[in-house]
Amino acid sequence: MKNLGRGRRGFDYVIVWVKRKEAFAYVGVLVAGLFRTLSVL
């Protein structure tokens, strides 16, 4: 298992980083929408 994941480790790290970046972007959009809603109210 360790030897198998050794070669793909960097590739998996990139995928995780991209997913994390997407998650941060999604949270950013939600927060921006929330602030916009609060400012309207």
pLDDT for the residue 6:
58
pLDDT for the residue 28:
92
pLDDT for the residue 27:
92
Minimal CA–CA distance to 20: which of 30, 9, 28?
Answer: 28
Question: Residue 31: CA atoms inside 13 Å, Cβ hemisphere, count?
Answer: 6
**pLDDT digit string (tens) for the chain, length 41 residues:** 455 555 667 778 888 888 888 888 999 999 999 999 999 87
Cα 10 to Cα 1, 18, 24, 29, 34, distances in angstroms = 15, 12, 21, 29, 36
CA distance 19 to 17: 5
pLDDT for the residue 10:
76
